[in-house]
Amino acid sequence: MGVKGQLSEDCISEIQSLKREIKEIKKGFSSKKKSQMFIPGKRIGITNRFVNVNSGKKDLISDLRLPIDSFVDLVAPIGHVIFRDGKLKVYAVCFINKEYELTYNEFTFYYDFSLNSSGEHQLNIFITFNEEERKTTDYKYYSFEFDFEKGAVHCANGSEVPMEKIKTVQFFLINTDPETSRGTETTVQSGDD
């Protein structure tokens, strides 16, 4: 019997494996050695029929100065998620060093499925880019919108995870050079008015 009667043993095994991988990744973040970074999950390509990504559609501001002394680390992304009409509508906002001068096509996206600390279904979204670190207090705003349709998320055994079962989404912003990351978790809201 799966967790809360919802997950098969294969799915639980996959989740435990992903947790171990994430733990190893976090260990790698504290290491100073350069290596090829492993991003867990499935890459979201432009041909994915279950997940659509829209970038930069809702730029409210272009620049932001944070009231902090210059630091190298990333700022945790901000997220908002709505479940409506059988789909997850996921919004993410990232503040990234203005000096990087990134374009939207320089980002790569991944996602995977796990359980959160309460044992509920969780979608993990990884937003990655590759830039050498630089200290700054000036940031540029990047917005991303993801539409996860029925059939987008599966366990290792291939069984589909129903969108309505996903209760939280955790966002990770990852700079693969110098291998730093920040993350945040948000609760899925019902789109019913």
pLDDT grade for 104, boundaries at 50, 70 and 90? confident
Total residues found in the chain within this entry:
193
pLDDT digits (tens, 9 = 90+) for 31-87: 444 446 677 777 777 666 667 676 665 444 455 565 555 555 677 888 999 999 999
pTM of the complete model beyond 0.85: no
Q: Dihedral of the CA atoms 149, 164, 155, 16 (nearest 10)?
A: 130
Choose from 3-12, 38-47, 93-102, 175-184 the range with maximum mean pLDDT. 93-102
pLDDT grade for 131, boundaries at 50, 70 and 90? confident
Burial zone of 7 (CB within 10 Å; 0-12 exposed, 13-18 middle, 19+ buried)? buried
Cβ atoms of 83 and 148 within 8 Å: the answer is: no
The beta-strand segments (E) located in 21-137 are 42-43, 51-55, 63-65, 78-84, 87-97, 108-115, 121-129
- The residues spanned by each domain of the chain are 3-190
15-33: average pLDDT: 61
